[in-house]
Amino acid sequence: MKLNKVAMAVAITAALGSMSVLADVTTGQIEFSGELVNTACGLAPSSSPVQVDFGQVPVSYLQNGNQATEAKNIELQYCDTTVATSAIVSYSPTSVNPNDATLAAFTSGSASGAGIGLKDSASQTVTWGTPTTAVTLVDGSNAIPFVAFLKADGGTLAAGSFQSTINFTIDYQ
C-alpha cells in the first residue's frame, strides 16, 4: 500500500512536470522613450518629424501656374496654459531655393525647377525665419495647422523625385 502511494506521488509529479514542458511561452519587451522638456507643450510623436507626401504631381500641372498643396498639423501634447497661452512658429528650410527665396530648395532627388513653400495657421505665406501668426493654446492637446505647397520656381521643370526639409521652432508666450 505504501508502495502504491509513493508510485502515485511519483506519477503525479511526473505528469505535472511534463505539462509545463508542453506549454509554450511567448516573451517580449516594452521599450519606453521620450524627453522631458521645459516648455508649455510637448511635441506629439507624430510631429517629430511631420511627414508631408505630395505623391506624384505632373510637371504640366506646375507649368500652368498651379500649386500642389497638402494641409498638415504640428501636434502638441500636454499643454499647460499656466505656463503659456499662445504659440508662435518660425520656419527655416535647410536650403533656400536659389531661383525663388520664398521656397525651400530640393535637397536631394533628381527633380528640379520647383520648391516648397508654407502657409501658416492664418493662411499667410511664411517668410523664412520670421515668426508666424500666434496660435491660442488650450490645456491638453493642440494643433498648429499649416499648408505646404509645391510650386514652380521659374527655372526649367524636370521630372524626378525630391526631398526637402524645413525646420520649425515654437516660441511659447
Can you tell me whether residue 22 is helix, strand or coil? helix
The residues pairing with 20 across neighbouring beta strands, listed in sequence order, are none
- Does residue 16 fall inside a structural domain? no
Number of domains in the chain: 1
Q: Measure the CA–CA gap between 126 and 118, rounded to whole angstroms.
A: 5
Domain ranges, residue 146: 42-172
- The tens place of each residue's pLDDT in the chain, 173 residues long, gives 565 666 666 556 655 555 555 679 989 999 988 999 999 999 999 998 999 999 999 999 999 999 999 999 999 999 999 999 999 999 999 999 999 999 999 999 999 999 999 999 999 999 999 999 999 999 999 999 999 999 999 999 999 999 999 999 999 99
Please report, for the domain that includes residue 82, its CATH number.
Answer: 2.60.40.1090
- Does residue 4 fall inside a structural domain? no
Q: Give the pLDDT confidence score for residue 85 in this predicted structure.
A: 98
15-53 burial code (b ≥16 CB/10 A, e <16): eeeeeeeeeeeeeeeeeeeeeeeebbbbbbeebeebebe
- Asked if residue 23 lies in contact with residue 156, where contact means CB atoms within 8 angstroms, the answer is no
Q: Give the pLDDT confidence score for residue 48 in this predicted structure.
A: 85
* Residue position matching grid coordinates 512658429: 89
- Does residue 8 fall inside a structural domain? no
